[in-house]
Structure 1
Amino acid sequence: MKRIAFAFALLGTVLAVLAQYAIINDWTLFRLFHTLGFIGYILIISAAASLSLLFIHQLSRDEKMRIRNKSFE
């Protein structure tokens, strides 16, 4: 799951940078690259959200185990 999120973040970054490069250099297919850049931003945000949820889930799992082990002592 982490690998997929990192791959989406990397792909999104590449698309966003390519879109900015197309804007700066006034390419003829500007609209296409602008759309790809928007898709890139969505991929970056989705990957960040996925990694954040994974991190929060891991923290809550560790806390549940700590509480469970503490009650048996």
Structure 2
Amino acid sequence: MKRIAFAFAIIGTMLAVVGQYAIINDWNLFWLFHTLGFIGYILIISAAAYFSLLGIHQLSREEKIRIRNKSF
């Protein structure tokens, strides 16, 4: 799943850059590239959310282990 999220982040970045480039240079089908850029932003946000949740899950797992091993 990490590979998929990383690929989404890379592909999303490329789509967002192409979309902005198309708008700035006034390409003929800029609306199509603008839409692809929006999809790229969604992919970037999805990848960031996945990695954030993965980090939170890892921290909570470590905290559970620390609490379990705590001696009274």
TM bin, normalised by shorter chain, reads over 0.9
Provide the TM-score with structure 1 as the length reference. Answer: 0.93
Q: How far 1:30 moved relative to its partner?
A: 0.6
CA displacement, residues 12-58 of structure 1 (integer Å, 9 cap, x when unaligned): 00000000110111110111000000000000001000100000000
CA RMSD of aligned residues (A): 1.1
Percent same amino acid at aligned positions? 82
Q: How many residues align?
A: 72
Give the equivalent residue in structure 1 for 2:24: 24
Q: Which runs of 5+ in 2 are unaligned?
A: none
Runs of 4 or more, structure 1, over 4 Å off, are none
**SS in structure 1 at match of 2:60:** helix
Q: How far 1:60 moved relative to its partner?
A: 0.1
Provide the TM-score with structure 2 as the length reference. Answer: 0.94
Give the equivalent residue in structure 1 for 2:33: 33
Q: Which runs of 5+ in 1 are unaligned?
A: none
Equivalent residues in 2 for 1:1-73 (5 A)? Answer: 1-71=1-71
